[in-house]
Amino acid sequence: MRTFSRTCLSTGRVLRVLAATLALSAATAAGAQTLRIGLAEDPDMLDPTLARSMVGRFVFASLCDKLVDIDEKLNIVPQLATSYQWSPDNKVLTLKLRPGVTFHDGEKFNAAAVKFNLDRHKNLAGSSRKGELAPLTSVDVVDELTVKLTLSTPFAPLLSILADRAGMMVSPKAAQANPTSFAANPVCSGPFKFKERLAQDRIVLERFPNYWNKEAIHFDKVIYQPIVDATVRLANLRSGQLDIIERVASSDIASLKAENKFTVARFPELGYVGITINTGKGEMAKNNPLGRDVRVREALELSLDRGGIVQVAADGEGDVGNQWVPPSNPFYAKNHPLPKRNIARAKALLKEAGVPHPSFTLMTPTTSDAQKVAQVVQAMAKEAGFDIKIQSTEFATTYQLADSGQYEAYVKNWSGRPDPDGNLYTFYGCKQSMNYPGYCNPKVDDLLNKARATVDVAQRIKLYDQVADDIVTARPIVYLYHRHWLWAYNKKMTGVRTVPDGLIRVQGLKM
């Protein structure tokens, strides 16, 4: 198994000093008991089976424990499962579960609960986890604290998938009682339990007193506040209304460091910033100049200076890239290096395609970083002949529009996963839940499935090179760069961990 000097004061003066001291102590205690986190967007539904948003994962980090987690070096580490063992043919994964764990409603966490959750991920209508767990054929209860996962084929990404929403455990009793409205009152087994949510305003969680690792929890409450504007988010940190904020505007990093009141965390992400293009999803794809002709998509890419985008939109806080993983990643397909900006070639391609001045709408979330990217892309592409209109849309609504194919192009940021499969399969697999481009290529489907079933890293790299031959050429997504996660927090806070998935883990945090 893998484990992982004396002064005389008047009575009135004494009372005033005592009152002030008590007030200060009370304020300090209150500040230490409530952790206030500023998010860049409002999360979507708080159901790990259905959820898709990155900011939702921030909330889940406090609300819903997973079977396993990852550390700063992307190693798999225990959480609700204490150890695991693969069968010799890599088709069966046996998990030993942590004893004494309960859900927020008092129900026991055990092997039966794991089976319920994984079956729910596989079968619930609208599940965003179904594709992630496609090779999982059965979940068997061996005993109270042992569960066996059987696969149709070896599945290299499985543990990394179980370190995310597919591994999150909800209370079977609560989920069965509220099959269509569980997200309105989620019940999990994490360090904090759900109290209330006001859309676009706050999500409030309260400490769960029976948490299995309660010694690591030093706050009584966590409040998540979505504040789209990075300037306003930072102002709330500076005023003391927030304790920690994610995605600080890159332009504010220098001034924050100079103030010496806050700590700034900076570390690379696992995902990417890109332009997702509607190539085959619904009626809008048919009239989309980008979707109709790959030459127009190539021209768009050649009109862009990725280094310039990083400098202007992110103040250099990112690494340029043209694939789903950065060039430094061992799974980067070296046979498709970064193309240089070439306006002349872009114009020639547009002429060949018969659309020298293509016009399209670029949908972008209202967040500050996405707005900057859209504006820089608009200005650069104009030099090649593109007429781009920017459609600023509330974050959760962008998902709905992308789902239904009601868009032409979309500035989409993906927070990334430890295994490359997590950056590929759900976006390109035919009929997968986040295949927003509407891209479907049986050859790519076959390669993605083979890469999932291959344990040998060298062989997986070769398969992903072949995937790149099609995807980098077809360009359903034009990848731009890989962000640096930028956080700022109260200098009194300790225990902050910078794990590359970009999530704020509350275990160990204290003032």
Domain definitions of the chain by residue range: 64-173, 272-484
Domains 64-173 and 272-484 share a fold: no
The confidence score (pLDDT) of residue 99 equals 98
Phi, psi of 468 (to 5 degrees): -65, -35
Burial 458-490 (b: 16+ CB within 10 A, else e): eebbebbbbbbbebbebbbbbbbbbbbbbbbbb
Q: How deeply is 179 buried, as exposed, middle or buried, from its count of CB atoms within 10 A (0-12, 13-18, 19+)?
A: exposed
Do residues 186 and 46 touch, judged by C-beta distance below 8 A? yes
Do residues 499 and 505 touch, judged by C-beta distance below 8 A? yes
The confidence score (pLDDT) of residue 274 equals 98
The confidence score (pLDDT) of residue 3 equals 58
The confidence score (pLDDT) of residue 396 equals 87
The total of other beta-carbon atoms located within 10 Å of residue 503's CB is: 22
How many helices (DSSP H) and strands (DSSP E) are in the chain?
17, 19
Cα 377 to Cα 15: distance, rounded to the nearest angstrom? 64
Q: SS3 for 482?
A: strand
The DSSP 8-state label assigned to residue 273 in this structure reads E
Specify the pTM.
0.85
Backbone Cα Rg of the chain: 24
65-to-50, 172, 467 alpha-carbon distances in Å: 16, 14, 34
DSSP run (H or E) holding 414: strand 409-414
46-63 pLDDT tens trace: 999 999 999 999 999 999
In the predicted model, residues of the chain with pLDDT beneath 70 are 1-32
The confidence score (pLDDT) of residue 365 equals 94
Cα 415 to Cα 401: distance, rounded to the nearest angstrom? 20
Cα 239 to Cα 257: distance, rounded to the nearest angstrom? 16
* Residues listed for the chain: 511
**Paired residues of 202 in beta bridges:** 198
Nearest to 362, CA basis, from 304, 422, 433, 434: 304
Fold designation for 64-173? Dipeptide-binding Protein; domain 1 (3.90.76)
Nearest to 155, CA basis, from 83, 66, 86, 90: 90
> Alpha-carbon torsion 495, 496, 501, 507, what sign?
positive
Nearest to 149, CA basis, from 137, 161, 160, 163: 137
Cα 111 to Cα 248: distance, rounded to the nearest angstrom? 41
DSSP run (H or E) holding 147: strand 146-151
Pick 272-484's CATH classification: 3.20.20.140, 3.10.105.10, 3.30.9.30, 3.90.1150.10: 3.10.105.10
Nearest to 310, CA basis, from 251, 256, 359: 251
The total of other beta-carbon atoms located within 10 Å of residue 103's CB is: 24
The DSSP 8-state label assigned to residue 90 in this structure reads S
The confidence score (pLDDT) of residue 181 equals 93
Do residues 303 and 388 touch, judged by C-beta distance below 8 A? no
